[in-house]
Structure 1
Amino acid sequence: MLFHEAVQFPCSPVHHTMLTESEIEDLFSLINKSRDPASLLSGSQGSNRTVYSSEEKKVRRMQSNRESARRSRYKKKKHLENLTSQMNRLRIQNRFLKNRVASTMHQHLLLSLHNDHLKSEAISLMATLSDLCGLLF
């Protein structure tokens, strides 16, 4: 059954679509051809596909490989740039942390010296207090 035979229009389709009857017939024939299994095998769909010779396939494959290699080199370059950037950030952070550790160690040394001085002063004051208590009692 052809497509246009099954469609019944209540009035002339020319008035609704602004197409002539011959244009409508052409459209129906194109639609019916695309639905016909024989036309699918005859090459109406296959005409969109190009058949390449082995030399053309080789050239296309080489071009594809070149493009793939170019993309791979680009990704590798970007990855290397990202790693270099990360390395520089980490070096700066490492330098900052080393400086903080050195500063903290210096403060620790100063506080230890001050603590030792206060301990010896506390011992000296305890001895003086002990001597005063001995004189009073």
Structure 2
Amino acid sequence: MIPAEITGYFQYLSPENLATIPAEFNIINMPSSPTSSSSLNYLNDLINNNNYSSSSTCQDLMMSNNSASDEDHNQNIIILDERKQRRMLSNRESARRSRMRKQRHLDELWSQVIRLRNENNCLIDKLNRVSETQDSVLKENSKLKEEAFDLRRLVCELKSNKKNINNSNNSFLREFEDV
């Protein structure tokens, strides 16, 4: 116990009673808290051993400490209950905001899913159209290659026929010239 706590005990005693406090009143053996049950027991022992000349004053001191302690204790409980209520309200509000944020995020994700599904369907349709176009272009390309091949063959035949015609014409002309 510190000296300030001791003076707190004796503020309830009148100055003339302070002079009658015996030397056995040892500060070192006193409990550390003025409102603890051991300090009240310590004061009770002092009163019962008649170390104080004014036992009624000490009893008043104990009663006043008990009632003050009870009032302080009740007030502390009320303060703690108020804090607990405020904390509970704050936690509820925080949880409500958290649920709202979560719901908003979920809604955004669902709208993103719908948008991406629509975009995916559009891309699939576009891919199908491009694939159909590619198939038709490949068929046309194949047809054109066949036509080109046929035309080359025809040109080759014509060239060979022309040579043959020229050769036969030349031979006819030679024969004619020889005559």
Q: TM-score, normalised by structure 2?
A: 0.47
Q: Where do residues 1-137 of structure 1 align in structure 2 (5 Å cutoff)?
A: 53-137=79-163
Whole-angstrom distance in 1 between the partners of 2:98 and 2:146? 71
**Structure with max Cα Rg:** 2
Identical-residue share of aligned pairs (%): 38
- Give 5+ residue unaligned stretches, structure 2: 1-75, 164-179
Cα distance per residue 1:54-111 (max 9 Å; x no partner): 0010000000000000000000010011111111111000000001111111111110
Paired residues, number: 87
Paired amino acid for 2:84 = K
Q: TM-score, normalised by structure 1?
A: 0.62
- Give 5+ residue unaligned stretches, structure 1: 1-50
- Answer 1 or 2: higher relative contact order, Cα 8 Å, separation at least 6: 2
Spell out structure 1 runs of 4+ moving beyond 6 A. none
